Amino acid sequence: MALVVERPRIARTLPEVRGALARRRRRVRTQSLNIAQTAIAASAAWALASFVNAKPFFAPVSAVVSLGVARGRRTTRAIELALGVAVGIAVADLIVLALGTGTLVIALVVALSMMAALLLGAGNILVNQAAVSAILIATIQPPSHGVSPTRFIDALIGGAVALLVGQVLFPRDPMRAMGKAARPVLEDLALGLRTAADALRDGDVQRAERALEIVRAVNDDITAFFDAVTMARETHPVYRDPRRARERLPVYAEAARQLDFAVRNTRVLARRVVATVRRHGPQPEPVAEALELLADSVEALERVLEEPGHEVESRRLALRAAAKATSVLPEDLPMSTVVVIGQIRSTALDLLQGSGLSADEAQRALDAAADAEEPPTEVAMRTTERG
């Protein structure tokens, strides 16, 4: 059994910290426009509502909530959601006015506001925000001077500002949003695979653990990718280029599904890399090279999503990865290394399907390339012509 030398703990944690900070900075950059829009909407709502109410507390609240749930949706749906926020505030106002405040009233107001949000077809964000708004009404600013439309008007102003910012001034581009959401998934997945390759090559346990952490962090990004696809399905009929949207939307939708599978397989792969390196040290070079080829295929898949015509490169790299990993199976390998090879093949299959192949086509291409029946490049070309 190979001897694995443990590095000092400080050498192991600094790369992890730098990697985590880099991913978080990238997420901030990705959301910078949304952050700026939300800040502008909140301040503008306060300024406008100040002409009606000296302290228009619910105007910026409504603006932020409405912008968050309505951004990128069809205009009619965005108006419904914005009105829903205002109506929810008004209903909670009336309930507190009639029943006063107290433990049971808070429970009633929160329950009714959440049910109303669900009846509007809202997601978890709006449902939770409706509950928060109801709590604020029932506790911080309960009505004390009879029925007054002031806060309802504040909420309407906030919703109107949100619609102006999200639907008129900065309308959401569904194609760009999907591409933007896919990028962190692909970048982190590729980084995790490359880090795992280095760990296998060097027998570095800490690097293998870092690869696992990187892949685990992709979960939030894949969720955001699915959200972007869902939003694009709703908004593509009113997109300025609906034909292109109709053509590219299925590509992104299938890629999201297959990338979800690829992330799960890579997570299992990374766990096995940790176990393999810890027990057996460095592994055969072709296995590490296969992981790097998978990373190359992931990066090529980003070009496939942005514009058709790059499918051959992504498929060729995925098939080369599977063939390279399979080539070492006749050797006497630890069982954990064999499992890693199996996960490489599974991930390659996911990437082939993510590039547009059907499940049967991807499996046939993988079998042909891995069994050396045909070179990976020829298989990739043939599947592209048929697809």
DSSP per residue, 110-177: HHHHHHHHHHTT--HHHHHHHHHHHHHHHHTS---SS--SHHHHHHHHHHHHHHIIIIIIS---HHHH
Same domain, 160 and 202: no
**In the predicted model, what is the mean pLDDT of residues 59-77?**
69
Instruction: Give the pair of three-digit tokens for residue 2.
Output: 């190979």
Confidence (pLDDT) at 245:
66
Q: Which of 219, 316, 304 is nearest to 254 (CA)?
A: 304
Same-domain status, 243 and 135: no
Mean pLDDT is lowest, of 50-54, 73-77, 171-175, 245-249, for 73-77
Buried b (16+ CB within 10 A) or exposed e, 220-257: ebbebbbbbbebbeebbeebeeeeebeebbebbbbbbb
Residues 41 and 133 occupy one common structural domain: yes
Q: Comparing C-alpha atoms, which of 152, 144, 147, 149 is closest to residue 100? A: 144
- Mean of the per-residue pLDDT values for the chain? 77
- Output the six-digit token pair for 329: 């199976």
- Claim to verify: residue 156 and residue 220 sit in the same structural domain: no
Residue 317 identity: L
Stated as kind and residue range, the H or E segment containing 187 is helix 174-202
376 within domain boundaries: yes
Residue 291 lies in a domain: yes
Q: Is residue 11 part of a domain?
A: no
Q: Max alpha carbon distance in the chain (Å)?
A: 84
Does residue 203 share a domain with residue 322?
Answer: yes
pLDDT score of 205 more than 60 = yes
Q: CB under 8 Å to 303, separation ≥6 — which residues?
A: 310, 313, 314
Look at residue 160 in the predicted model and tell me its pLDDT.
86
- Shared domain for 199 and 142, answered yes or no, is no
7 inside domain = no
How much is the pLDDT for 260?
92
What is the model's pLDDT at position 56? 84
Q: Check residue 168 and give its pLDDT.
A: 73
Closest CA to 81 of 106, 49, 118: 118
Q: CB within 8 A of 22, min separation 6: which ones? A: none
Q: Look up the domain containing 147 and give its range.
A: 28-169
In tens, the pLDDT along 2-41 reads 444 344 333 444 555 555 566 667 667 766 777 888 888 8
User: Among 169, 190, 209, which residue terminates a domain?
Assistant: 169
Examine the fold and report which residue of 169, 193, 223 is the final residue of a domain before the chain moves on. Answer: 169
207 shares its domain with 140: no
Domain count along the chain: 2
**Is pLDDT above 80 for 151?**
no
Q: Are 162 and 231 members of one domain?
A: no
Domain assignment present for 20: no
* 320-367 per-position pLDDT tens digit: 999 999 888 877 788 888 888 999 999 999 999 988 888 888 888 888
The reply to whether 50 falls in a domain is yes
Task: Examine the domain organization and report whether 192 and 126 are in the same domain.
Answer: no
pLDDT tens across 57-66, in order?
778 887 887 7
Boundary-marking domain end, from 140, 169, 198: 169
pLDDT (mean) for 275-303: 91
Same domain, 192 and 77: no
Four-residue CA torsion sign, 296, 355, 179, 192: negative
209: domain CATH number is 1.20.58
For residue 265, is pLDDT > 70? yes
Please report whether residue 374 resides in a domain: yes
Whether 74 is covered by a domain: the verdict is yes
Q: How far apart are CA 281 and CA 296, in angstroms?
A: 25
Do 126 and 200 fall within a single domain?
no
Q: At how many degrees (to 10) do helices 218-235 and 205-216 cross?
A: 20
In the block, which residue shows the tokens 């049971």?
A: 104
Residues 216 and 277 in one domain: yes
In this predicted structure, what is the pLDDT of residue 9? 38
